Structure formats: structure tokens, C-alpha cells
């Protein structure tokens, strides 16, 4: 029988290093986490040659006593936990006692430290796993860990390092997350002597501005909510503020930057109704829970966590984010940008949507406003409406003048009466004229009563219509509404598309769709994990119109599919469902979403179609006058132009 060897600590540490010290950025992460655990308020990270030559982390934390310095290099040596039960209640970032020995096993490491209250500092060097005795060293309170020649003794690993630029990007990325996670700590990151990132401990908004810029932060919702034993806070991008990739997403759980499927899919699904394809939400989300309810000891690099109850976490995060997004979701407002505001009356040749973010906000606005020619049309239309508004003001004045006319009529009667006093006039004629005038006055009063009634009916219908007044349709594409001094342009196609899509989706979710039986049942072969996942979803799938039989060895037979799709690709559908495995709950897989969206798009009224007033009314009623909706592809269905903005166009106000 083969002999079983107890590995030497040097060999053991190198094996552990394989898990903890993946690349230079992981060294940065471990050392900064140690500094944070030591209570540092100021942390400076210096990197040379993308960390291949030097990674140095200097802090002003509690420092390490001389007697403890060598101990830090021993495997499983930690000051953060003692007993097994302590694992249930971890409040520090580190606890495994692996980083220092693992990093030291694959580099030359120097630790210089002066413990708080101590009058002397000390230095230890570890070379190829051998640790020197502490030597006196003049330094400030705190610790400075230098990691030189990373992976010098593990050439295979060194070969896997990426190009400098790429390693540097990863370092910058992890530092960004650490800075966001600890808004009260001052961080500096220097690459080859040049400062790349700097924060001053001034709070989340300040840090976020430092990292992402003001334009991003001003498009965010800042909130704190406590719900179901969780405290959820941070900055999340408004529904129409999205990014082209996932790098703008940070979750900080109990002060630790984590990548966790439950949380990420809850956020993603909350944003789903607003997202265009290949757009991703922006968020820096802090979640605090009792450490008892979360296991951080899942992975050597401690980036993932496990919750005692995933459902509660998913549900809470989902509902909190959805609520914020809905509360803040409004039709985009048309506004000139700062430059334009200061410019003269030259907007006819300019792009009305000035906000830089608006560029990425929606294809809709681009279509409507980007070309000067098109814009001119839109503008003239809006200007026309503004004019007609003014005209209607005039008309209202005239209507008031109805009373004026009445006065005129009375006056004329009086004149005639006076005239009747004229001795040349016959009295009978005077009576006749009175009768005529009385009739005229009565007629006017009757008209006025009708007008009043119509006005009242209109008022009532306005109340029903959420206060919106339908102005009409323009360019056979847009519906114009007015409410409380603001003007709304609605894309008739997008609005109808959303309406049809919601109906299709409801049918689909509630099992209101017919089944179509396949000519030949489709064989779906899956592995064990997939099989377990699918088995748990059979009920939902059946509700959606599928008929599925399970046989042994992970073979599923699909007998029928929802009738909703003429060209249903069973393989594509299940590939999609399985790619969601463990990530999103099977609410509506992306293929279904796309198919329903396509169907809605095809059936929806197109631009270029004339709509009667009653058609407009019924469309708006069907969408419950909810102008904050998006089309299934995430484009807004409406745009708001404020009275102030229009007044500015005409220089009524500046």
C-alpha cells in the first residue's frame, strides 16, 4: 500500500497559496483586508510592474506586537477567531489565517510593524517560506507588508499571469470595490509611483463620485431600508440609467465585497422590466444582516457567501429594489444641457436632449430628437402646441366674454330701450325688440349652461384620466397629453406594445395559453444537477403550457409546448432555462420574454397610423395612464416636457 505522507508546512502552504493567491489582485485584496481588520483609517497601496515586482500595503492600524510577528506566518494562525463557534459569528474580513503564510510561500515577504502604544517597530523577512527573527526597525504605528517577486518559485503559476495592463486593471477593480465598501476609510492606489485611485473617507456618495463621476451619481437613488431583519442601503441607478456591462455592480455584505447569485439575480430581476437588451444596472448595494444568518466560509477567497435562507434574501432585495425603481420611475424629461441653457436662442439647430446620459438612455429619444431636421419638426410641433395653448387661453378669455356678450346684449337692449323712448319710435316696436333681445339672452344662457355642463363632464373625465388632458396625435406617431402644466409625448407603438406584452405575459404566467402537441416528443437529455433543477420546475412549466415526462437517466420528454409561439425552438428554450440554473428563479426565461416581446411588437399599432380620439382614449385607459412604463425592450413609452422648459424656449423665463 502507498505510504501516506504528512506534508511539510512549506508544501502545504504552497498548496493553500494556489487557492488564496490566484493573482496579484488577490494579494492586494488579502493585505488590504488585513489592514481593515486592524482598524486602519488610512491605507496606501503601492504596485510595481503590475504587482509582479512589488505589492506593498501600508496602514495605520493596530500593528503587530513583536512576539506575534513570526506567528502570523504560521498556517492557520489568526487573531480573529479562536473556537469553532466563532465561525458562526464572523465580523472581520479575515478569519482563516491563510493569507500571510500562503503569500509568503510564493514570494519574498517583508512585514514592518509597530503596535499601537509600543515604542519600537520591528521587521521580519520571509524568503521561500523561511522567516527571520524580528529586527528593530524605525517606523510609524501600523503595519507595512511588502510582497516582492510574486510567484518567483512557482514558474508554472507565473506563466499564467496576464499582461501588465490586464493585471493592473484587476487590481484597480478590486481596489474600487474595497473603496466603495469602506466609505469612511482613506485609500490610495499607486501604480508604478503614480496615483490612480484616491479616496478621503468622506462617505459613499463622495467615493462614488470619485470613482464613477458626478454624472453617474446624480442618476442614482440613494436609500436605506430595513426589512425582514436586513438593512439594505446604497446607491442604485435609476431605471433608465444603465451600463453596457456588469463592472458597475457592487454588493457589500456585512462590509465585505461579495459576488453572490441570490443577491445579483434579485437585483437583476427587479430591473428586468426596465432593461434594454445587453444593458446592465448600476449599483453599489450594502446589505447588512446578523452574521449568524450568513456563512462566509464558503470559498478560500471569501468572495461568495451562503445564506441560511436564500428565499428571504432574494424576496427582500427584489422587493426593496423594485419599490425604489417604481417610485423613481418617471417619463424622461426633455431638458437642454447647461451649455445650451447659457446660449442664445439658437436651439433650433441643436439637440434638445442635452444630457450626456440621455445618449445612452434611450433609442427612442435619439430617434425623436437627434437629427436637427427631425428635431425642428418636433420642435415646431411643440411650439405649435404651445401656441395653441396660448390660443386656448385666449378662447377661454372669450368664453368669459360670453358674459361680456351678455352685457353687450343688455346694453344694446338698453340702447334700444332708450331709443324706444325716442318719441319717433312706436311703442309696439319697442316691446317687440325687447322680446327679441330676451330670446337672444335666453339662448345665450342656454348655451352657457351647456358649455358649463360639458366643462364639468370634461373635468370629471379628467379625474378619471388621472388628470391628463388628451391634446391629440401628431406626426401620426405620438400622442400628446397635458397635465398640471407639463406636456407628455407618447410613442403610440411603444405604449401599445407594452400593453399587448403585459397581456401575453399574464396569459403565459397564469397558464392561459393553449398547448400544442409535438408531432414527435422532444428528448431532452440533462445531467444530474440540471435534472434536479428541472424536476423542481415541472409544475411551473406545465402551467406555462408544457407537457413534460421524466424518465430515468436524466431523460425528459417534451410532449407539448405553449401554443403562443408558432416557431417554438424547444432546444433553444431549454438551453436558456438551464443556463439560468441556480441563478434566476424560473420566472420567465429570456427566450420566452423575447418571443413575447416580438409578438407584441408585431401586433402593436405602428407609427404612421391615424388614431381617433376614442382610440387614443382607450389605449391610454388600457395602460392605466401609467406613462412611466417602458416598452418590452426597455425604451420609454413617453417623454415629459415641462412648462418651465417650454417657457424657457420662448424666453418667457430664463
Footprint of Mg ion on 73-102 (CB under 5 A)? 94, 99
* The binder of ligand ADP chosen from 97, 134, 237, 634 (CB under 6 A): 97
Taking CB under 6 A as the rule, does residue 490 contact ligand ADP? no
Draw the binding track, 357-396, toward ligand ADP (x: CB under 6 A; -: no contact).
----------------------------------------
The grid coordinates of residue 544 equal 406555462
Taking CB under 5 A as the rule, does residue 34 contact Mg ion? yes
> How many angstroms separate the CA atoms of 167 and 25, rounded?
7
Select 38 or 494, whichever has its Cβ closest to ligand ADP. Answer: 38
Taking CB under 6 A as the rule, does residue 100 contact ligand ADP? yes
**Which is nearest to 598 in space by CA: 558, 575, 565, 634?**
565
Partner that binds at residue 72, options Mg ion, ligand ADP, none, CB closer than 5 to 8 Å by kind: ligand ADP
Would you say 235 and 218 are in contact if contact means Cβ atoms under 8 Å apart?
no
Taking CB under 5 A as the rule, does residue 492 contact Mg ion? no
Question: Which residue has 444641457 as its cell numbers?
Answer: 337
Give the range of 96-104, 187-195, 273-281, 417-425 binding ligand ADP by CB under 6 A: 96-104
452 Cβ contact partners less than 8 Å away, ≥ 6 residues apart:
none
The grid coordinates of residue 351 equal 439637440
Element at 414 (helix H, strand E):
helix 372-421
Select 38 or 353, whichever has its Cβ closest to ligand ADP. Answer: 38
Please, what's the b/e burial string for 313-349 (b: 16 or more CB within 10 A of its CB; e: otherwise)?
A: bbebbbbbbbebbeeebebbebbbbeebeeeeeebee
Task: Write down the least CB distance from residue 579 to Mg ion, Å.
Answer: 35
Partner that binds at residue 170, options ligand ADP, Mg ion, none, CB closer than 5 to 8 Å by kind: none
Helical H segments across 511-584, by residue range: 528-535, 538-543, 570-579
621 Cβ contact partners less than 8 Å away, ≥ 6 residues apart:
465
Taking CB under 6 A as the rule, does residue 77 contact ligand ADP? yes
Task: Write down the least CB distance from residue 37 to ligand ADP, Å.
Answer: 6
Partner that binds at residue 38, options ligand ADP, Mg ion, none, CB closer than 5 to 8 Å by kind: ligand ADP
Select 99 or 109, whichever has its Cβ closest to Mg ion. Answer: 99
Partner that binds at residue 545, options Mg ion, ligand ADP, none, CB closer than 5 to 8 Å by kind: none
* The binder of ligand ADP chosen from 72, 253, 284, 352 (CB under 6 A): 72
* The binder of ligand ADP chosen from 14, 26, 70, 95 (CB under 6 A): 95
629 Cβ contact partners less than 8 Å away, ≥ 6 residues apart:
495, 498, 623, 636, 637, 638
Task: Write down the least CB distance from residue 144 to ligand ADP, Å.
Answer: 8
For 356, other C-beta atoms within 10 Å of its C-beta total 10
Select 77 or 221, whichever has its Cβ closest to ligand ADP. Answer: 77
> How many angstroms separate the CA atoms of 13 and 11, rounded?
5
Partner that binds at residue 96, options ligand ADP, Mg ion, none, CB closer than 5 to 8 Å by kind: ligand ADP
**Which is nearest to 226 in space by CA: 290, 284, 163?**
290
**Which is nearest to 469 in space by CA: 485, 453, 492?**
485
Partner that binds at residue 80, options ligand ADP, Mg ion, none, CB closer than 5 to 8 Å by kind: ligand ADP
Select 29 or 496, whichever has its Cβ closest to Mg ion. Answer: 29
> How many angstroms separate the CA atoms of 475 and 382, rounded?
11
Could you give the 3-state DSSP secondary structure of residue 188? strand
Taking CB under 6 A as the rule, does residue 61 contact ligand ADP? yes
* The binder of ligand ADP chosen from 107, 143, 176, 269 (CB under 6 A): 143
- Interface residues with Mg ion (CB under 5 A) are 34, 94, 99
- Interface residues with ligand ADP (CB under 6 A) are 30, 34-35, 37-38, 59, 61-64, 72, 77-80, 94-100, 143
Amino acid at each position: 500500500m502507498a505510504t501516506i505522507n504528512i506534508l511539510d508546512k512549506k508544501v502545504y502552504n504552497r498548496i493553500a497559496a494556489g487557492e488564496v493567491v490566484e493573482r496579484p489582485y488577490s494579494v492586494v485584496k488579502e493585505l488590504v483586508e488585513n489592514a481593515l481588520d486592524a482598524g486602519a483609517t488610512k491605507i496606501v497601496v503601492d504596485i510595481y510592474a503590475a504587482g509582479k515586482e512589488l505589492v506593498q500595503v501600508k496602514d495605520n492600524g493596530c500593528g503587530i506586537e513583536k512576539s506575534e510577528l513570526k506567528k502570523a506566518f504560521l498556517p492557520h494562525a489568526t487573531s480573529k477567531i479562536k473556537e469553532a463557534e466563532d465561525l458562526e459569528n464572523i465580523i472581520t474580513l479575515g478569519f482563516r489565517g491563510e493569507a500571510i503564510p500562503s503569500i509568503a510561500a510564493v514570494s519574498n515577504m517583508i512585514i514592518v510593524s509597530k503596535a499601537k502604544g509600543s515604542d519600537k517597530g520591528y521587521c521580519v523577512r520571509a524568503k521561500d517560506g523561511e522567516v527571520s527573527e524580528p529586527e528593530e526597525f524605525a517606523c510609524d504605528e501600523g503595519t507595512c507588508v511588502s510582497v516582492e517577486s510574486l510567484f518567483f518559485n512557482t514558474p508554472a503559476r507565473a506563466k499564467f499571469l496576464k499582461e501588465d495592463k490586464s493585471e493592473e486593471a484587476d487590481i484597480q477593480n478590486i481596489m474600487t470595490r474595497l473603496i466603495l465598501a469602506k466609505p469612511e476609510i482613506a485609500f490610495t492606489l499607486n501604480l508604478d509611483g503614480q496615483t490612480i485611485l484616491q479616496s478621503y473617507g468622506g462617505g459613499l456618495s463622495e467615493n462614488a463620485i470619485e470613482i464613477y463621476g458626478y454624472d453617474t451619481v446624480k442618476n442614482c437613488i440613494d436609500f436605506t431600508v430595513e426589512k425582514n431583519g436586513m438593512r439594505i442601503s446604497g446607491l442604485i441607478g435609476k431605471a433608465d440609467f444603465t451600463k453596457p456591462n456588469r463592472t458597475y455592480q457592487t454588493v457589500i455584505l456585512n462590509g465585505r465585497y461579495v459576488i453572490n447569485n441570490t443577491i445579483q439575480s434579485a437585483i437583476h430581476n427587479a430591473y428586468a422590466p426596465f432593461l434594454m437588451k445587453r444593458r446592465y444596472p448600476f449599483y453599489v448595494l450594502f446589505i447588512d444582516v446578523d452574521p449568524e444568518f450568513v456563512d462566509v466560509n464558503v470559498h478560500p477567497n471569501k468572495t461568495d457567501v451562503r445564506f441560511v435562507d436564500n428565499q428571504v434574501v432574494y424576496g427582500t432585495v427584489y422587493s426593496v429594489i423594485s419599490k425604489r425603481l417604481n417610485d423613481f420611475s418617471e417619463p424622461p424629461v426633455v431638458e437642454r444641457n447647461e451649455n445650451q441653457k447659457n446660449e442664445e436662442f439658437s436651439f433650433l439647430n441643436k439637440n434638445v436632449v442635452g444630457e450626456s446620459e440621455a445618449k445612452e438612455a434611450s433609442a427612442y429619444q435619439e430617434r425623436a430628437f437627434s437629427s436637427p431636421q427631425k428635431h425642428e419638426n418636433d420642435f415646431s410641433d411643440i411650439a405649435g402646441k404651445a401656441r395653441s395653448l396660448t390660443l386656448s387661453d385666449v378662447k377661454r378669455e372669450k368664453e368669459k366674454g360670453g358674459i361680456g356678450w351678455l352685457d353687450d346684449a343688455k346694453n344694446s337692449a338698453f340702447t334700444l330701450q332708450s331709443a324706444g323712448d325716442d318719441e319717433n319710435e312706436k311703442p309696439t316696436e319697442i316691446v317687440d325688440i325687447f322680446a327679441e333681445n330676451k330670446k337672444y339672452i335666453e339662448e345665450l344662457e342656454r348655451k352657457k349652461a351647456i358649455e358649463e355642463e360639458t366643462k364639468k363632464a370634461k373635468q370629471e373625465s379628467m379625474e378619471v384620466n388621472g388628470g391628463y388632458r388628451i391634446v391629440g396625435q401628431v406626426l401620426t406617431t405620438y400622442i400628446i397629453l397635458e397635465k398640471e402644466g407639463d406636456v407628455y409625448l407618447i410613442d403610440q407603438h411603444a405604449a401599445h406594445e407594452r400593453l399587448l406584452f403585459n397581456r401575453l405575459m399574464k396569459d403565459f404566467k397564469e397558464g392561459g395559453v393553449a398547448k400544442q402537441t409535438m408531432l414527435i416528443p422532444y428528448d431532452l437529455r440533462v445531467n444530474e444537477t440540471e435534472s434536479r433543477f428541472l424536476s423542481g420546475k415541472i409544475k411551473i412549466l406545465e402551467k406555462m403550457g408544457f407537457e413534460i415526462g421524466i424518465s430515468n437517466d436524466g431523460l425528459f420528454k417534451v410532449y407539448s409546448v405553449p401554443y403562443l409561439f408558432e416557431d417554438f425552438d424547444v432546444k433553444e428554450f431549454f438551453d436558456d432555462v438551464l443556463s439560468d440554473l441556480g441563478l434566476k428563479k424560473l420566472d420567465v426565461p429570456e427566450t420566452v420574454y423575447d418571443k413575447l416581446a416580438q409578438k407584441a411588437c408585431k401586433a402593436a399599432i405602428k407609427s404612421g397610423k391615424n388614431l381617433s380620439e376614442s382610440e387614443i382614449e382607450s389605449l391610454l385607459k388600457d395602460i392605466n395612464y401609467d406613462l412611466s412604463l417602458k416598452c418590452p425592450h426597455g425604451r420609454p413609452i413617453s417623454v415629459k416636457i415641462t412648462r418651465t422648459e417650454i417657457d424657457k424656449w420662448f424666453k418667457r423665463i430664463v
